[in-house]
Amino acid sequence: MSARLFALVVGLMFLALGVCGFVPALLGAPAGAPPPGPADGLLFGLFPVNALRNLFHLVFGVWGVVVWRVTAASRAYARTVALVFSGMALIGVLPGLAGLLDPLPVDGHDIWLDALLAAVASPIGFVPWWTMGRDPAGGGWS
């Protein structure tokens, strides 16, 4: 996958997640908890979200869609996604660090999803040969 395609696909995914996080019908409550408030609960019954996490998704989504046309900017986006989401996955896994991101829910299914996203973004952002070759859109070298 090229860095540009990664930025576009992941950006659109984040935009969709950010919008879905504000739709009360898509939010569930954890077992034994009161019904979720607006933009607060388990997205699709699996992923903990709140208004701040939804805004976080929207920012990363807009950024990905804005930079997808430029290879260098798309690679910088992939690097940032890899670093931020690997950090979030580590914080979710390591005991005692969960309090570092109190306003952002980082637990449950978010941990493996963040780790998977970081694993996909890392080679795209950091390994130079992923983007070597001709750029079919521009006809030049990427």
Average pLDDT over residues 106-123: 89
Domain boundaries, the chain: 3-19+50-131
The residue with greater pLDDT, 80 or 43, is 80
**Angle at the Cα of 135 from the Cα atoms of 6 and 84, rounded to 5 degrees:** 25
By percentage, how much of the chain surpasses pLDDT 70?
Answer: 85
Q: What is the pLDDT of residues 12-53, one digit of tens each?
A: 999 999 999 888 888 887 777 776 677 788 888 888 888 888
Residue 3 has pLDDT above 70, yes or no: yes
Residue 132 has pLDDT above 90, yes or no: no
Can you give the pTM of this predicted structure? 0.81
Amino acid identity at 61: G
Alpha helices (H) along the chain: 3-20, 51-67, 71-93, 109-126
